Structure 1
């Protein structure tokens, strides 16, 4: 398989983005779920749904297609062929040439992105906050348009002013050269889509030198096979640290210990004014605090929404973006970057960024 991206799709949301990662959110949802935060990036299933829509003309039956059939649909109907693979999505700032990867957190108030830069052979990342626009609505009775008591809901929509990139590998058919306008994400929000020849994350991945066993940043969720739940139970009980992912063959994920993460990470602060009276946090304590933010985050995730059934697809155990994992495989980092890891990896799930022997985390 070639390790050069065929091309990339550039997706530019025209308005505030609404990317919901699992669960349901409508005016009829009340109580603790009456506020919803958009993630800064769509799930790979959203991108796959976009491509499937191009393949079949956005028919209602599209929502009934399971993820494994989406691959076949895109391969055959869109003409991509059975060798295609998607990587991403991620955000790219063309002006500063900076890649932004998703950082999933259970708290909606912390940074949801990390900026990744390679400067003079040194890979550095820093946490980035996401700007939100508050959108509040009131549910109305469909017949008389009167307000339904108590059904006030709020959405926090992500302000997205940088393009989203999806890399396309091995596609037998190229994407049209002209710009197209399509609906993307929740509430059918509009985005402009065009083709480009740049592949910034691929460029980063091929610049990293790693050994046979290496660390990686999880850029998109790794969907784990059902049998992995036994591994997860032992991991949560701290009896084991290895997960058999199944795809690609002879590949395993090891969950790093906090000590291993501390050895991997170097925390670097901005230069402070020498006259500042503010006490500096103990270096060791700051390193431990930073390392904890990159511990493997495991959750149950639905790989998309079944529009026909009007409900999320069945849940999968997943390792979420922002986790750092250790990879044991016969493939080199660049091969595994392109092929992905875990279930439905051809659709962008399980995108990994290989890490060097030392990762610099820059404090803002």
Structure 2
């Protein structure tokens, strides 16, 4: 089932770093991207499915793949894959980098939620991204856009979640879910490139052009620039931060001569059931 997640207003996809104000002046070392981390989507789905009594609080979230950026107009549909850092690579041959003018800069004050008071000296900054500006850059007069994911859900839950609004991304900004018919996804495949769509959790590298996990490996090639690795957080589980792992950033294409559909379905690396290491063919 394909779900389109559309923020109701500007949203925050922070991939790490610190955003704060110091006495000596402002400092912003946060990493902001045009698409969310898989851990952000996992939390969003968990909230949605538990609130709608589709799963129990202790149940895992069903397997999902993505995210991609999807935008459509009256005459055109376009898929874009993340190209780290701060870029989208689209199948209509438009490649864009997020513009600083698409962000809203907000100042926040830390709160002690138990005491219901502000935290002394805890002032921070966030950058909120307007996805509609991105959509209109890709297609003029975009009528529908957002973060697209493919989730293993039964059709009978469609009516429960279609139109549901849930907290999404930093500051728990609201976003609306639309269940969309996407049977014609094959028609959007133009270049037939196999691209990494989300960070892949892999073993420490021995070769710049090969990534491995368990007893598997795949050859990779930089789309542009260089192959990038970062230590990433796997998010939070029951209020506790999960482990930090080595992540291959979505900057690469996979050199796969056969079984493209298999690697598209399975992804690469560890924790692919949670969206890490998703693969897109565009």
Q: Shift in Å at residue 189 of structure 1? A: 0.6
Q: Shift in Å at residue 195 of structure 1? A: 0.9
RMSD: 3.6
Q: Shift in Å at residue 100 of structure 1? A: 2.0
Which residue number corresponds to residue 13 of structure 1? 7
Distance 1:134 1:24, change over 3 A: closer
- 2:151 is the counterpart of 1:183: no
Which residue number corresponds to residue 49 of structure 1? 43
In structure 1, runs of 5+ residues without a counterpart are 1-6, 66-71, 76-84, 106-110, 118-123, 210-214, 262-290, 356-364
Distance in 2 separating the partners of 1:197 and 1:320 = 29
Structure 1 contact 10–196 (Cα < 8 Å) conserved: yes
Q: Shift in Å at residue 101 of structure 1? A: 1.8
Distance in 2 separating the partners of 1:347 and 1:146 = 34
Aligned residue pairs: how many? Answer: 260
Distance 1:20 1:141, change over 3 A: closer
Q: Which of 106, 109, 127 lines up with 2:96 in the alignment?
A: 127
Structure 1 contact 35–156 (Cα < 8 Å) conserved: no
Q: Shift in Å at residue 320 of structure 1? A: 0.7
In structure 2, runs of 5+ residues without a counterpart are 133-144
Which residue number corresponds to residue 136 of structure 2? none
- 2:199 is the counterpart of 1:221: yes
Distance 1:242 1:153, change over 3 A: same
Distance in 2 separating the partners of 1:144 and 1:55 = 29
Normalization by structure 2: what TM-score?
Answer: 0.75
Normalization by structure 1: what TM-score?
Answer: 0.60
Distance in 1 separating the partners of 2:177 and 2:5 = 5
Which residue number corresponds to residue 316 of structure 1? 245
Q: Which of 282, 286, 300 lines up with 2:231 in the alignment?
A: 300
Q: Which of 219, 224, 228 lines up with 1:254 in the alignment?
A: 219
Q: Shift in Å at residue 199 of structure 1? A: 5.8
Q: Which has the higher helix share?
A: 1
Distance in 2 separating the partners of 1:104 and 1:304 = 19
Distance in 1 separating the partners of 2:229 and 2:191 = 26
Distance in 2 separating the partners of 1:336 and 1:255 = 13
Structure 2 contact 9–173 (Cα < 8 Å) conserved: yes
Q: Shift in Å at residue 104 of structure 1? A: 1.7
Bigger Rg over Cα: 1
Distance in 1 separating the partners of 2:185 and 2:174 = 25
Which residue number corresponds to residue 69 of structure 2? 91
Distance in 1 separating the partners of 2:151 and 2:109 = 41
Which residue number corresponds to residue 260 of structure 2? 333
Distance in 1 separating the partners of 2:237 and 2:25 = 24
Which residue number corresponds to residue 126 of structure 2? 155
Q: Shift in Å at residue 16 of structure 1? A: 1.0
